[in-house]
Amino acid sequence: MKPAQRPFFVLIALIGGLAIFSSTLSKTPVLPLFAASLRATPAEIGWIVMASTIPGILVSYPAGALSDYLGKQRVLIASLVVFATAPFLYLVIDTAWQLMAVRFYHGFATAIFGTVASAAIAERYTADRAARLSTYSSVTIVGRSIAPFLGGTLISLASYDAVYIACAISGVLALAVGLLLRNGTAAPATKPEWPHFWASLTTVLRDRGIMLVSLVEAAQYLVFGAIEAFLALFAASLGIPAWQIGVILGVQLLSIVFAKPIMGKVSDKVGRRQVILPGLLIGAASVVLIPHAPSFIGLTVLSLVFGLGFATVTSSTTALVADLTKDGRFGSSMGVLRTVMDVGQSIGPVLTGFMIGVAGYGSAFTLLAAILVLAALMLGFLFREA
């Protein structure tokens, strides 16, 4: 890392850690449990979880393209304002519909920040792109990993309000650190004209490789979103206490933290597709076994294995999209990737909630595993033809 780049990477990683900690603490494991305390049905819980991913569908591409035009810092600060303000709104919620509305607002933070931060890193690093993106992601996942443990503990020892106060503190700190990015994410010297701004979208959408990788990412996040929403409820239905549910979800995120940088380096050496395919199959195997391991130990092991598969896939998908990007449209490409990904993540909780209501947890988790297998087959066949 060059000396001039070091402050940027350190700051963006610190901001990401604080912001994603705040975001994760607001939903894992508190969100489904809080929603259930408001007497939300499984189907309504699916919609509540989905609400935060809808902004990703709406604004990921515009945010990425605007960051190519205006510079990354301005767009990042806008997302950090949402991170800092949204947690306070949870403190005044008393209905499921209010919770859904707040989740929708909160979703703008991660939609914008995730797209622009990835684009900013991708355009600065080329030879070790996957390793840099994976290292950054793992730093943010440190925050994501701590959140379930702290959230479960705060619920058990204090209240839901205590969880959201902690979210607010972290969000405000992320905004404060974000203001230091002023010198690290300057606007581009030559701004593209507005017609090119819109032409970037069609250029990216016509790229078969980018769209294929985006669909694989969508399948992975569809399953991740469903597991995030309903593994906690499945564990609760078995009588597992909240602090242990926090452990079950926390080990999954810890496995992602440690595995992702390693798999990013492997991806830089052996190729992206060779890493993505086995990761999808590992994830499928762990998900299909969840209903057959109805214990704290069993669910903890499978959650950890799922995290390893998720880390293996996502260590390479973002880097592969960056590799395929032409003419420096990193913001636009990452915006399309995030948009397609958020479509998948939005569908996951709703589809799973419906399946649980109709056929139970066993059928729902089997369907999720089948989606990952289908994504692996699609990637394998289509890239073999390329």
Mean per-residue pLDDT over the chain, rounded: 81
Nearest CA to 31 out of 190, 333, 249 is that of: 249
Which position has the higher pLDDT, 382 or 286?
Answer: 286
For the chain, counts of helices (H) and of strands (E):
15, 0
For every residue of 322-346, DSSP letters joined together read: HHH--TT-HHHHHHHHHHHHHHHHH
In whole angstroms, give the CA distance from residue 26 to residue 146: 12
**What residues have CB less than 8 Å from 201, skipping those under 6 apart?**
61, 65, 332, 336
Nearest CA to 56 out of 348, 318, 339, 349 is that of: 339
Nearest CA to 85 out of 181, 180, 168 is that of: 168
In whole angstroms, give the CA distance from residue 101 to residue 134: 32
The token pair at 329 is 């449209």
Which position has the higher pLDDT, 308 or 256?
Answer: 308
Please tell me whether residue 356 adopts helix, strand or coil conformation. helix
Model-level pTM? 0.67
In whole angstroms, give the CA distance from residue 311 to residue 332: 24
Confidence label for 193 from pLDDT (cuts 50, 70 and 90): low
**What residues have CB less than 8 Å from 71, skipping those under 6 apart?**
185, 186, 187, 188
Which position has the higher pLDDT, 162 or 73?
Answer: 162
Mean local confidence (pLDDT), 284-301:
88
In whole angstroms, give the CA distance from residue 336 to residue 217: 11
The model's pLDDT over 101-110, given as tens digits with 9 standing for 90+, comes to 999 999 999 8
63 neighbors 115 (Cβ within 8 angstroms): yes
In whole angstroms, give the CA distance from residue 244 to residue 196: 51
**What residues have CB less than 8 Å from 6, skipping those under 6 apart?**
none
Query: Which residue blocks in 71-95 are alpha helix, DSSP H?
Result: 72-89
The model's pLDDT over 229-239, given as tens digits with 9 standing for 90+, comes to 788 888 888 88
- With a cut of 50, say whether residue 186 has pLDDT above it: no
The model's pLDDT over 326-340, given as tens digits with 9 standing for 90+, comes to 666 677 777 777 777
Q: What's the pLDDT score for residue 157?
A: 87
In angstroms, how far is the first alpha carbon of the chain from the final one? 34
Token match 């597992």: residue?
Answer: 240
Cβ count within 10 A of residue 159: 11
Percent of the chain at pLDDT > 90 equals 21
